[in-house]
Amino acid sequence: MSILDSKIPKGPLADKWTKHKNTIDLVNPANKRNIDVIVVGTGLAGGSAAATLAELGYNVKTFCYQDSPRRAHSIAAQGGINASKNYQGDGDSDYRLFYDTVKGGDYRSREANVYRLAEVSGNIIDQCVAQGVPFAREYGGLLDNRSFGGVLVSRTFYAKGQTGQQLLLGAYSAMNRQINRGKIQAFNRHEMLDLVKIDGKARGIIARDLVTGEIERHSAHAVVLATGGYGNVFFLSTNAMGSNVMAAWRAHRRGAFFANPCFTQIHPTCIPVSGENQSKLTLMSESLRNDGRIWVPKKKEDAEAIRTGKLKPTQLAEEDRDYYLERRYPAFGNLVPRDVASRAAKERCDAGFGVNKTGEAVYLDFAAAIQRYGKEKALTSGVHNPTKEQITKLGEEVIEAKYGNLFQMYEKIVDQDPYKTPMMIYPAVHYTMGGLWVDYNLQTTVPGCYAAGEANFSDHGANRLGASALMQGLADGYFVLPYTIGDYLSNDIRTGEIPTDTPEFDQAEKEVKDRIEKLMSASGTNSVDFYHKKLGKIMWNKCGMSRNEKELKEAIDEIAALREDFWKNVKVLGIADGMNPELEKAGRVADFLELGELFAKDALTRNESCGGHFREEYQTEDGEALRDDENFKFVSAWEYKGEPKDAVLHKEDLVYENIELKTRSYK
Amino acid sequence: MGGLIKSSIARKVAMALSGLFLVFFLLQHFSINFTSVFSPDLFNELSHFMGINPIVQFALQPILIFAVIFHFVMGFILELQNNRARAVKYAKYNGSANASWVSRNMIYSGLVVLAFLGLHFYDFWVPEIVYKYVEVNPEVPTRYYEELVHKFESPIRTGLYVLSFVFLALHLWHGFASSFQSVGFNNKYAVGATKFAKAFAILIPLGFVVIAVIHHFNH
Amino acid sequence: MNLTLKIWRQKDARSKGKIVDYPISGVEGDMSFLEMLDMLNEGLIEKGEEPVVFDHDCREGICGSCSLQIDGEPHGPDRFVTTCQLHMRKFNDGDTIYIEPFRAKAFPVIKDLMIDRSSFDRIQQAGGFISVNTSGNTIDANAIPIRKEDADQAMDAATCIGCGACVAACKNASAMLFTSAKVSQFSLLPQGQVEATERVMAMVNQMDEEGFGNCTNTGACEIECPKGISLENIARMNREYLKASLKG
């Protein structure tokens, strides 16, 4: 057995969490006042954790690089949040949500964690409603649900196409309440540059005030990292421009193991890349797949005619269209999980059926849904014998009510009217299932350093289902971490305030300053973005939707060489002791250049295809992923040893006692 | 009072309420003036009543004067505060892209109306007060109509009068309808109320202008 | 296309700034406004000049980070978009474009086009929340039915992204639309009505303290709001405030 102890409680699956909560140590309210906790990142996981910890009585300091906690990238999540409330009476349960999530993750997640997630999911909805989150409702005044990919029930709660925004504003309001009470000190426009360890325990961070450039020391009894994912290692992704891996990577360098870095989610419904100057990709909510049908032309010559603008998609007859998801996966159709839908789109485009100028796009068509809803609406609103125009108009109104903001966004970006012509979509990097390795208590391998939300690896295995990220972020922050951290902090009630004038802080601060100095003085010729774009190209081409041994090996070498070049030839203008976004970017890209290599190494080690990780060598005859449970039913946790190539692999074997491992099928 | 105007919303409501009061006064003033067009006797009778009624003279008149002063003083204070709220101005500010000229220039239309009020006080109110309370002349119930007609003999004064009412119309065009929003009245009935306010903003000043022009040419 | 950019450059909060002209060529219609600025910055870095600093993050119109007064209008001439989703196809070859920070005393400039909007945070901290514990021991989510119409209206108010375009557009630099959106969201929901009196008083007081101007109902905020937040919210807040004042 390896040195990884997942600390999963004994006993039956459904009782583990309750039993665990009953037996772990607590900190009494009077003592909580003497304990400080640092929370880095203020998205759903960090914001909710900070608010809850402060409410429990701890002194909380929050850090975010944005100018306000409300702007963390959780805000961009569109579709919804899952919960096993079974309000629709369609047979949902904690077990079913648990089962769907483990299966959706292609059996690479931890049973106990996922079951706990399902167990607390209902609480999240109660909590959010109490906070004033305006979820969508039915006419009877009760909450509405919709369906998402990879499941057979309707369990997704939503607030138009802005669910992430509303949930984040809920967590932010809970934070505000604590800021108002003086229990949270919010350090906005601050970036964590290093983790400080004292006697092996996480005891603080070094942060940079992004406005003044000042390097600050902050101490605490525990540090929570809720800093999101590392999708921006691909340069182009649906992440925010500032999303980065620095906090997690700095913790990794200080001893926190990094788990499954190669598990990345490529989201199938994004707006295709339009040109070389593009800075980011925009997601169109997966909820669109409830009503949109995905297709490409059946014949290559039609696809070519469309690409050159000679043919319009609306002119193509029904029998000349290939609804390839419905063809390949009749049971789930357009609602197959994300990894499956993305790969299928890539397969069609690679085969020459792509429909935009670059040949890297497929259609998402609402014409059928508009007609269907139009007829329904005509019937319910008493219009007899409606004309085709009437039906279309009514149908468009229904679609607008459901997805209006998404359609508007598409039109603004692409300059085409998606009510009249099908949308064009293509997969894009969206979410990273990998992250810091944590045990059942969400503690990393550094005592006192916790990771929550997308920043940890725990719940989604090799592929995340839609509407599960919001659920996990809030579950970790509101309902898991505040309890489990108490178990650790109960040993700290006599510690007293942690001083910052210690050699450990001196050393960490010096290292941070040296690194900044090195970046500023590399009198090179290339901008930071130059390197970031190059790295992104390598990642997308060789570690993207499908991977193979040869290209992964190339990627490892190329990234290492690029990293070396970066430190010699990067050009960072401006000053270190003031606002300098170029310097911020440089620090982040430097860490991406290390992570990228570990990413490729992890992908190379995993000789199987599972979830978002597709190795070309391991597929069935009809192109489906071929998992290898015998040899790879484990979590890869990497230990830092200097260069990424020297990282040491530790395996946490995944034990399935409640679910039978099966080949994932959505046919 | 201090508490009532301490916050920006309270000041806004106070502006709206004093404005609404002035709108009401304007309607009343217009109704009486309008009688002068068709019945000098009725005009004299009403003016006489207003001139000697103690409630009008010693209760409503001071309230009116207070409302006028309050509305103007508050208007200036707000303008100053609003100016201070943007210390550095834009090099390019495209105000017409998102708001009407009138709504952005209430201070100027207001200032013209204020200047006019000065003239109006000088023309009518001051002589009236001097006549009644300083010189303590005997009350002649039929003098009002003649005084009115006499004032509109001068084309310059009539011209100024007309111009002022154009600005009053502009001021009311934004001010009257906007007062509903200020007091929190914005529902399905507000659409109708706004239409009424806009119509009022045009018709009442126009009515004043018509009265002045008629007397100018009829004297 | 070729453009002339007139950009506000300011070294830091204490320095004086000025408008500097930058010609730029090779701009494509499919680029977003910020991608156009990225391109300008790449060119500046190449020449060894310090790039223009501006706030941005999600680049999909939801985080509210990006700002910019473009040709005298917040988020530029297009409607219902933030600057990150404003596309260059809205401009013509040869155009001169003014790019300035959002201006308000309560939004001091940090550097170039980057501003400090923490005043908005403080307004929210004053009362923009419902005082429930996050412990999860709340009542079931479906225990209190809420009229769909109310829930939808609350949602419409809650879509505010806190970008500050309302303040930037307003000739008085008033923050009424922002503040009223939050007040409205809560006053429309039964959960929020419990603390309605205290909330509106506290938030309006904080708003005034921050030095925003007074609302004069010009309606510019509503026109320029990238999320289409309605003026009805301001009327509702006025109402809520009056109610609260009378209650004392």
pLDDT digits (tens, 9 = 90+) for A225-245: 999 999 999 999 999 999 999
Q: Residue A615: left (phi > 0), alpha (psi -120 to 50), or beta?
A: beta
Residue type, A306: I
Structure-block tokens of residue C245: 């004042």
- Whether C96 has its CB under 8 Å from any CB of chain B: the answer is no
Give dist(CA C231, CA B145) in Å, integer: 47
Higher pLDDT, C18 or B144: C18
Q: At CB < 8 Å, which residues of chain B contact C?
A: 4, 7-13, 78, 81-82, 84-95, 97-100, 103-104, 106, 174, 178, 181-186, 190
Minimal CA separation from A519 to chain C, in Å: 15
Residue B120 is inside which H or E element, if any?
A: helix B106-120
Dihedral angle sign, alpha carbons of residues B51, B54, B58, B60: negative
Burial of A185 (C-beta count, 10 Å sphere; 0-12/13-18/19+): middle
In this predicted structure, what is the pLDDT of residue A79? Answer: 85
Query: How far apart are alpha carbons C61 and C163 in whole angstroms?
Result: 10
**If you write DSSP's letter for every residue of A259-322 in order, what string do you get?**
E-TT-EEEEEEEPPP--TT-----B--GGGGGT-EEEEESSHHHHHHHHTTSS-GGGS-GGGEE
Distance of CA B136 to the CA centre of its chain: 28
Distance CA A362, CA A354 (A): 6
Token pair of A116, please?
Answer: 């706990």
How many CA atoms, within 13 angstroms, populate the side-chain half-sphere of residue C44?
A: 20
Q: Which of C33, C6, C35 minimizes the C-alpha distance to C18?
A: C6
C233 touches chain B (CB under 8 A): no
Q: Which among B88, A588, A162, A283 is positioned nearest to C64, based on CA atoms?
A: A162
- Rounded to whole angstroms, how far apart are CA atoms A218 and A38? 8
pLDDT band at C59 (very low <50, low <70, confident <90, very high): very high
In this prediction, residue A1 carries a pLDDT of: 41
The structure tokens listed for A588 are 């982040």
Q: DSSP letter at C16?
A: -
Rounded to 10 deg, the angle between the C148-158 and A163-180 helix axes is: 70
Minimal CA separation from C99 to chain B, in Å: 9
B11, B78, B92 ranked by CB distance to C72: nearest: B92
- Give B84's contacts in chain C (Cβ within 8 Å): 105, 211, 213
DSSP state string for B13-76:
HHHHHHHHHHHHHHHHHHHHHHHHHH-HHHHHHHHHHHHH-HHIIIIIHHHHHHHHHHHHHHHH
Chosen for mutation from B5, B8, B173 (greatest number of chain C CBs closer than 10 Å) is B8
Which residues of chain A register pLDDT less than 70? 1-2
Nearest CA in chain B to C16: B88
Partner chains of C (3+ C-beta pairs under 8 Å): A, B
Q: Answer yes or no: is pLDDT of B2 > 60.
A: no
Are A180 and C28 in contact (CB < 8 Å)? no
A559 to chain C, minimum CA–CA distance in Å? 22
Cα gap A531→A582, rounded to integer Å: 12
What percent of chain A clears pLDDT 70, i.e. is strictly above it?
Answer: 100
CA A356/CA C51 separation, integer angstroms: 34
Inter-chain contact A52–C138, Cβ cutoff 8 Å?
Answer: no
Q: How many CA atoms within 13 Å lie on the side-chain side of B171?
A: 26
The answer to whether the Cβ–Cβ distance between C219 and B103 falls below 8 Å is yes
- Residue C102's CB is within 10 A of a number of other CB atoms, namely 25
**Mutating which of B92, B105, B171, B185 best tests the C interface, going by the most C Cβ atoms within 10 A?**
B92
Nearest alpha-carbon partner for B212 in B166, B119, B149, B136: B149
- Say what the pTM is: 0.96
Distance between CA A288 and CA A517 in Å, rounded? Answer: 48
Report the first-to-last Cα separation within chain A, whole angstroms.
38
Q: If we measure between CA atoms, which residue out of A320, A414, A311, A404 comes closest to residue A366?
A: A404
| pLDDT of B3 over the 70 cut | no
Residue B213 has a CB neighbour count (10 Å cut-off) of: 14
Residue corresponding to tokens 């239309």: B109
* pLDDT tens, residue by residue, C75-125: 999 999 999 999 999 999 999 999 999 999 999 999 999 999 999 999 999
pLDDT of the residue at C40: 98
ipTM (interface predicted TM):
0.98
Report pLDDT for C135. Answer: 73
Positions of A marked catalytic: 338
**Nearest-neighbour CA in chain B from C187: distance (Å):** 14
Measured in angstroms, the CA of B55 and the nearest CA of chain C are apart by: 29
Instruction: Report DSSP state, residue A528.
Output: H
Q: What is the C-alpha to C-alpha distance for residues A113 and A96, in angstroms, rounded to an integer?
A: 14
**Helix axis angle, B8-38 to B155-182, nearest 10°:** 140
At A172 the pLDDT is: 98
Instruction: Look at residue C26 and tell me whether its pLDDT is greater than 90.
Output: yes
Does residue C128 sit at the A interface (CB-CB below 8 Å)?
yes
* b/e A428-443 (16+ beta carbons within 10 angstroms → b): bbbbbbbbbbbbbbbb
Q: DSSP code of A433?
A: -
State the pLDDT at residue C164: 98
Question: Is C7 in the B-facing interface, judged by CB distances under 8 Å?
Answer: no
Nearest to C154 among A134, A172, A279 (CB): A134
Backbone angles phi, psi at C112, to 5 degrees: 45, -110
Q: How far apart are the first and last CA of chain C?
A: 60
Confidence grade of residue C136 (pLDDT, cut at 50, 70, 90): low
Cα A540 to Cα A274, A534, C149, C200: the distances in Å are 16, 10, 45, 50
Model pLDDT, residue B1: 42
* Nearest partner of A260 among A666, A543, A637, judged by Cα: A637
- Contact yes or no for C208 and B94 at CB 8 A: no
Residue C27 backbone class (left: φ over 0; alpha: ψ -120 to 50; beta: rest): beta
Please name which of C105, C114, C85 lies closest in space to residue C167, comparing C-alpha atoms: C105
SS3 B112: helix
Q: What's the confidence (pLDDT) of residue A401?
A: 86
- Tell me: the pLDDT tens digits for B38-93? 999 999 999 999 988 999 999 999 999 999 999 999 999 999 999 999 999 999 99
Is C133 at the interface with chain A, CB within 8 A? yes
Nearest CA in chain C to A412: C85
Number of Cβ pairs < 8 A linking chain A and chain C: 218
Shortest distance between the Cα of C213 and any Cα of chain A, in A, equals: 22
Number of other CB atoms surrounding residue C60 within 10 Å: 22
From start to end of C90-145, where are the E strands? 96-100, 109-111, 114-115
How many of the other CB atoms lie within 10 Å of CB of C144?
14
- Considering only CB atoms, which chain C residues are within 8 Å of B93? 72
Q: Residue B4 has what pLDDT? A: 58
Degrees, nearest 5: CA angle C38-C44-C49: 135
Q: In sequence order, what are the residues at sequence separation of 6 or more whose Cβ sits closer than 8 angstroms to the Cβ of residue A599?
A: A233, A261, A262, A264, A539, A543
Chains A and C touch (3+ CB pairs under 8 A): yes
Token pair recorded at residue A526: 């290339």
Residue B151 pLDDT grade (very low, low, confident, very high; cuts 50, 70, 90): confident
Q: With contacts defined as CB-CB under 8 Å, which chain A residues touch C148?
A: 137-139, 141
Cβ contact A407:A399 at 8 Å: yes
Contacts of A404 in chain C (CB under 8 A): none
